Chains A and B, each alone.
Chain A
Amino acid sequence: MGTITGIDDLILRASDGSTGNPQRLFYYRSGQIGGDDGYIARKTSSQPHSLWMYDGVRAGGAIPGAVSAPTNATQGGLLHNNPSGGRQLWMAAHVGQYAHSGMLVVYDRLLHIGGLSGTVTTAQTVGGALTRYTNGIGNIVFAEIYSAVGGSTSTITGAYTNQDGNAATIPINSSTLIGGSINQKEATLVMLPLASGDTGVQGVTSVTLTNTTGTAGNWGITVAHPIAMIPCQPYSGGCLLNYTDWIPEILTNACIGMFFFGSYDLFQPTSAPTSVGNVLLIEA
């Protein structure tokens, strides 16, 4: 284990001593996707928003096609370098500013698939295999909308393998709605609940809509492992995480993604949906 032994050690490594190999990853999200004028089109959601596709720096992930396991080389993640010399990589700080108050969730994007349809009411296969956090503990599943689905509200259910390797079903409730006026637009992210008692996911077999949303659009399923949750208070406090808060490990090959849980009007023209930040990673 590459323990950071204390504050002195952390400061030394952050200043490139003691093989800390610090990486300062500046990132920026413009609020636009593919250069569009999406401010108004995406304002309806009270759901978390995926930052995967937004234009910017260390940004601009492509819409996934077939199921795959993203890595630190996948565009859309923070594109960091893996640790060297047998050391571990730690996220020592995040400094950012977001357009609105809310919660930034930093996660390891373990597996994703796109190309699912908002009009198909039979099971749509997910599959694939995790390459990190393979025991499933702490992994979450969310649906991501890549191209607007229809205006009719539908519900997502699905079959997954839980942390014990047992088959399980995503329960249908108010958390699993897709389509309609709220969960329709691109970048909307719908966190899916797990069956009672489950603490994670080893894989997702398939997902099924209870009815058509009216438009096929393009949506997908992502399996992720949350790394850090950072409150963002743009009028007073920014979006800060440092060693007094939490120092999460970044696994080798991790694909560091982000989503934002903000207010109803996060993406409105008068509140530019931009975000900017800097992540400090050090080795130990």
Chain B
Amino acid sequence: MALLTNMSDRVSAMTGGNVQTTIVQKRDTLVYIVGAANSYWTIPGLPGAAANPTTVTAPTRATLGAIAFTNPTGGRQKWLVRVALGAMINSAMGTIYDRLLHIGGLSGTVTTAQTVGGALTRYTNGVGNLAYFEIYTDIGSSSVTATLSYTNDLNNAATATIRVGGTDIQNRSHIAPFPLNAGEKGVKAVTSVTLSSSTGTAGDFGITVGHPLMTLTYGFQGFSEERGSAATSTINSLGGDVEILSDACLAMLDQSFSSLGTTEHYFLGMLNMVEK
């Protein structure tokens, strides 16, 4: 392990070559639900919009929609040392994650098990991985239970449930993590997902397995009547440097905890990386 050992080591790495700066910009009209999260995977901007997934795949940094970076060279490791984010959103949490596996094309009206499958290529022991319910085209307005059948980090079969459809999560870009059961630390594989009943509209949803890397809070920087004001956040060494695995598929989501006066979401961010 080529660790960043102290602040001086970090300064040296930031000015010693093999550094990388990547800007991220996303803008679209999205439906907000307080407490629900929005995925930026298929939202246009920089990087460009990803295609909706179809069959199960393990995305990489070369997958359209992934935040750009180059793999480390010379036996070094890649470290994310700083992220700065600004968004037209108040009181929210942004998350940068490694998108490990995804599938789309699942239906909001099918009530039998819909197969997921596939195999992880990073974080294969499952520790720290989460499975998400992600919507690519609006599903129906009936609230139903989605049951995930998966293999946990202990190699045991397990299930977990969340409510989807209706006023829970229904619209394009909504994304929600499945909870873990007691004693579990992550998800190693997903077998299938089953809806308890039809949401009323097939739409297009999928299952995503992701590994959260770095989270940032957007403060409530505006006044209450100043809806849609920009809130900003940054994280640096005080939040800990995070390794970016080779070929990682970097993506982001955020989750709002306040009511918003606008459906437009404009997001601007920068990732700073070094190698050692």
Contact = CB atoms under 8 A, between A and B. Distances in A.
B44 A229 contact: no
Interface in A115-172: 138, 140, 171
A151 B14 CA distance: 46
Given A101-B221, A175-B45, A264-B228, A3 B16 contact: yes
A120 to B, nearest CB: 25
Given A249-B15, A263-B230, A197 B268 contact: no
A46 B45 contact: no
A231 B86 contact: yes
Given A193-B46, A226-B23, A262-B230, A1 B272 contact: no
Contacts of B10: 244
A103 B87 CA distance: 9
A284 to B, nearest CB: 7
A236 B237 CA distance: 20
A171 B48 contact: yes
B191 to A, nearest CB: 31
Interface stretch (B24-32, B123-131, B181-189): B24-32
A85 B256 CA distance: 51
A216 interface: no
Interface in B26-66: 27-29, 44-51, 64-65
A103 B15 contact: no
B46 A261 contact: no
Given A101-B232, A102-B230, A198-B48, A3 B12 contact: yes
B48 A46 contact: no
A232 B221 CA distance: 10
Interface in A240-271: 243-249, 261-265
Q: What does DSSP make chain A's interface, helix, strand, loop or mixed?
A: loop
A8 interface: yes
B21 interface: yes
Q: Chain B contact residues: over half helix, strand or loop, or mixed?
A: mixed
B65 A196 contact: yes
B264 interface: yes
Contacts of A232: 232
A246 B68 contact: no
A233 B7 contact: no
B219 interface: yes
Interface of B: 7-12, 14-17, 19, 21-23, 25, 27-29, 44-51, 64-65, 68, 81-82, 84-86, 88, 219, 221-222, 226, 228-234, 236-238, 264, 266, 268-270, 272
Given A46-B228, A101-B232, 8 more contacts: A5-B11, A5-B12, A6-B11, A46-B266, A101-B231, A174-B264, A245-B237, A261-B266
21 contacts: A3-B12, A46-B88, A88-B15, A101-B221, A101-B231, A105-B270, A138-B23, A196-B51, A196-B64, A228-B270, A229-B84, A229-B268, A229-B269, A231-B84, A233-B219, A243-B7, A244-B237, A245-B82, A245-B234, A246-B272, A264-B226
